[in-house]
């Protein structure tokens, strides 16, 4: 609502008051209240940004800051992925020959940190692994999260290769709220929706005994279906990664990239990404096992906890740098991800 709309609404409210003096007095009071409210909201937003761009050492303030601002945390429970997709850094980093689990003590350290602040936002199990490849492990980790974080929203990102109807039911019973499942195809294949749906996606739906409830997105570069399954919100999607992909910190070629990004990024203001080795990254496109990305490791769960990592000097300085419209770090310079919605979440 703009200023003209606000004034019109106020006039509509006060028009019935018979005496002009009283009418004008109430009208001016309402306008001043709204101006004061808007001013306070602006100042509160500024205070939040300032707080998150300065290191915090006070323990209670660290906890308060994490509680008020963390909206999304992604945890990689193990390293293994069964695929080497061309648009993913796993095409150049070996994640198939062995599997390394995130140390359970580190995992529980993060979960207990979140429990301390009564965390009720999103926790996703995924990074650059296939979370469902280790069934016993992922079910255990989900149950641990659900027990300690009963209000949280637990999500899974998966390629669907290991998923069966029985496995899906177990995930629901363990406490999963949402699943995003992707259908992938080879780099040399064209993004042909009819072929992808009829020859690929429908076969998976038949295997899982699921049907499409709603088409969420359908355009020239992606299609998203909402599936009909009681108890879990399931999105099944396919994308043309030559148009929708990301260079993942300049590690992948042939995907959609910008040139010399200058626009702001607010991901590190509200998100944390925990790798299988306990290192914490500022966004989903960076990973601690790529040499060129290591300078942007925010901390590790061996030496610090989430409260310290979220409010330390390195994280704060990175936020300060990213929230300005200016030329970005080389690793961020090709990223096309927009994050204004995260800023709106931050200030609301």
3-state secondary structure 51-82: HHCCCCCCHHHHHHHHHHHCCEEEECCECCCC
Please say if the pLDDT value at position 16 is more than 70: no
- Of the candidates 336, 170, 344, 345, the residue with the CA atom closest to the CA atom of residue 261: 336
pLDDT (0 to 100) of residue 285: 93
Among 21-30, 34-43, 104-113, 239-248, top mean pLDDT goes to 104-113
Average pLDDT over the chain, rounded to an integer? 89
Please say if the pLDDT value at position 30 is more than 60: yes
Architecture of domain 59-347: Alpha-Beta Barrel (3.20)
pLDDT (0 to 100) of residue 333: 81
pLDDT (0 to 100) of residue 9: 67
Please say if the pLDDT value at position 291 is more than 90: yes
**pLDDT cut 90: percent of the chain above it:** 61
The 10s digit of each residue's pLDDT in 75-131 is 999 999 999 998 899 999 999 999 999 999 999 999 999 999 999 999 999 999 999
Is residue 273 classed as helix, strand or coil in its secondary structure?
Answer: strand
Please say if the pLDDT value at position 320 is more than 60: yes
pLDDT (0 to 100) of residue 215: 93
Please say if the pLDDT value at position 19 is more than 70: no
**Cα distances (Å, whole numbers) of residue 307 to 65, 75, 103, 115, 342:** 8, 16, 19, 12, 20
- Of the candidates 213, 209, 207, 215, the residue with the CA atom closest to the CA atom of residue 238: 215
Adjacency order of strands within the sheet including 212-218:
212-218, 222-227, 233-239, 178-183, 153-158, 122-125, 72-75, 271-274, 279-281, 299-300
- pTM for this model (two decimals): 0.86
Please say if the pLDDT value at position 192 is more than 80: yes
The pLDDT confidence band at residue 4, using thresholds 50, 70 and 90, is: low
pLDDT (0 to 100) of residue 330: 80
**pLDDT cut 70: percent of the chain above it:** 88
Please say if the pLDDT value at position 13 is more than 60: no
The pLDDT confidence band at residue 307, using thresholds 50, 70 and 90, is: very high
The pLDDT confidence band at residue 187, using thresholds 50, 70 and 90, is: confident
pLDDT (0 to 100) of residue 345: 78
- Of the candidates 84, 100, 133, the residue with the CA atom closest to the CA atom of residue 252: 84
The 10s digit of each residue's pLDDT in 198-217 is 878 999 999 999 999 999 99
């Amino acid at each position: 609502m703009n200023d003209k709309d606000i004034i019109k609404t106020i006039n509509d409210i006060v028009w019935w008051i018979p005496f002009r003096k009283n009418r004008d007095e109430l009208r001016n009071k309402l306008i001043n209240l709204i101006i004061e409210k808007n001013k306070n909201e602006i100042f509160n937003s500024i205070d939040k940004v300032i707080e998150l761009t300065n290191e915090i050492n006070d323990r209670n303030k660290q906890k308060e800051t994490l509680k008020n601002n963390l909206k999304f945390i992604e945890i990689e429970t193990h390293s293994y992925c069964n695929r080497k997709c061309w648009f993913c850094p796993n095409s150049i980093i070996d994640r198939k020959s062995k599997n390394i689990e995130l140390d359970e003590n580190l995992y529980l350290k993060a979960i207990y940190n979140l429990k301390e602040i009564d965390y009720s936002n999103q926790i996703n199990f995924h990074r650059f692994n296939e979370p469902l490849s280790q069934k016993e492990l992922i079910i255990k980790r989900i149950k641990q999260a659900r027990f300690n974080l009963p209000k949280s929203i637990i999500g899974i990102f998966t390629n669907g290769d290991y998923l069966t109807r029985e496995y899906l039911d177990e995930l629901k019973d363990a406490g999963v709220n949402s699943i995003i499942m992707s259908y992938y195809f080879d780099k040399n294949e064209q993004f042909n929706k009819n072929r992808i749906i009829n020859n690929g996606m429908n076969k998976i739906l038949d295997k899982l005994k699921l049907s499409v409830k709603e088409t969420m997105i359908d355009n020239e570069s992606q299609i998203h279906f909402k599936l009909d399954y009681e108890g879990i919100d399931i999105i099944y999607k396919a994308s043309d990664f030559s148009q929708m992909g990301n260079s993942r910190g300049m590690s992948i070629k042939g995907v959609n990239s910008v040139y010399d990004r200058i626009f702001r990024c607010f991901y590190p203001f509200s998100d944390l990404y925990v790798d299988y080795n306990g290192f914490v990254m500022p966004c989903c496109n960076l990973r601690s096992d790529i040499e060129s990305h290591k300078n942007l490791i925010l901390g590790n769960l061996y030496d610090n906890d989430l409260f310290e990592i979220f409010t330390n000097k390195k994280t704060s300085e990175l936020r300060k740098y990213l929230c300005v419209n200016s030329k970005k770090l080389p690793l961020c310079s090709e990223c096309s991800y927009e994050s204004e919605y995260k800023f709106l979440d931050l200030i609301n």
